[in-house]
Structure 1
Amino acid sequence: MLKAIDISSLQPHPDLDGVDVVLIKASEGRTYANPLRDEQEKAARGAHKQVGWYHFLWPGNIQAQADWFIRCADPKPGDVLACDWETTQAHTAASCADKDRFLAAVKKLAPHLRVILYCNLDFWERHDTTSQCGDGLWIADPGAPAGKPRVKHAWLIHQYGIRNHTDVNMCNFATVAAWKDWAGVPDSPKPKPPASEPYAPPAFPAGLAPGKSKPSAKGLQKALRAAGFLTIKDSELSDTYGPRTQAGVGRFFAAHPQFRSKGKPHDVVIGPHGWAFLFTLAYGRK
């Protein structure tokens, strides 16, 4: 199972070591916003933790509270949103109907995000009448061993205790990848492959001419063969720019007469421009 902590302004510098998921208090009621939420989010994301947000629900003004929650959390794709349903500091509590309306309102505002319910065992067993928990139940049951809450309903997260003044939880997921898949965390963009370098033909060799012997004649013969203008075996390659090579050049000019010398319909002398085009045609896949 994955390890998680849930934090508020009471944990300005939470210990993220060994933690997989960080659930941050974003807001409460219609006016309170956690002043440390941006800093806590930055720390969690910087440590490559999965992020969730929760809103402490008060009675009434449900749509206003949902709007305020989304505004304060400013959730990113793959974040999880939670309704914190428990007794307020004024010793009041949102009703089960309020809870259900809040979950629905948040889901409508963020339809592509997971929206879950947090409550303790007493609220779930004695105050809830609908078993509505959105996309999953986050149950507080500190009297049970970690990952073994005493609840019959399927659960996602178990808040089982406090360590270093921070609530600790177990998430019912085998791997971080499983959490990401459930939460809809977008895949990291794959780096684009480096753009292939445009083909650059070899420089035109000095002294290459019909009837002469130069090592570059073999390169010319290979290029003519690769481009389909000369049939020649490796054993037949020669440093001589002889009749066979000249015939290959003639066939190249017949196909691409723009590289033939003007006024020479039977030209077999390849020049720098024809050389560059031939090699690009043979090896540059153009």
Structure 2
Amino acid sequence: MSSSNSRLLNFPRIALQAVLLVLFGILSESSIHIRYEVEVGGNVTIHCPVEENREIDFLYLQTDKNGFVNGFHSIRPIENTWPNTEMALNNRAVVFYDVKISHSGIYYCIFDYKNNQRRTKEVPLSLSVIAPYSKPSVTSICSQDHLYCHVTCASHDGYPRREMKWNVGQKMNVTSHMWKVLNNSIEKSNSSTGLLSITGTAYFNCSNGELEYNCSVGNANSDNFLICGTEKPPFDVGIVVGSCSVLGVVLMVMLVVLWTKYKKRRLSFLEGVTTDNGGGTKEEIVELKGKNEVNS
């Protein structure tokens, strides 16, 4: 009973701590005034806001996620620094080379001046790593009766997370029943790089005729396309050639059958004529058949 009461008594304190942590996170993010943005694979120099006319005792750049990144100390050497980083600008900045998605996050410049009575300063900085998405590729498929169409747009190798946006019927009033987004999916293009692929599919109701559309992710835009048009499907040479070949074979077979039947009827007719004229020897009949075959 006492343990349950103690938990109840501690509940308001735990709730207050949770609220304070959330507020601290919001305030910490909003209090960051130094922000850097760089494309993946590029280089960036992070400047710590130190006074140029003062001598530095130490300066460290670190992050909550992986701790120490790189730094400088006036007395002892610095070890265990991140690869592809180095100190620059008289030990007042840290350079990142070949930046990766994993480098995104909040960093802290922790520094102090000599003869400053250990008044250490800690300044938060934000590093955003981005990658432009590729121009969306577009594929479409329509029902045989051309009453509706599905269009899929796909864009690859970008960062951070975005949403596939659709621009439909810029030159006309388009209502919600004429088209709608069916789904949007985001997945990693490459697990090692962390880059993302975005795919979106939209449904178009063709009962109102032709619609113009395009799709976009960030600053990457597809071409403009028309959907639900009344034009005939594209001419497919392969299908036409194949159909003609089949038709040609069928016609050849029919001609052979008809010619065979004609020869049999002709032969029967000649035999009947010979018999009606009093018969004749086998040699005469064969000779007559040969002549008629030559004449035919």
TM range (shorter): under 0.3
TM-score by length of 2: 0.20
With structure 1 as the length reference, what TM-score do the two structures score?
0.20
Q: Higher strand share goes to which structure?
A: 2
Structure with higher Rg: it is 2
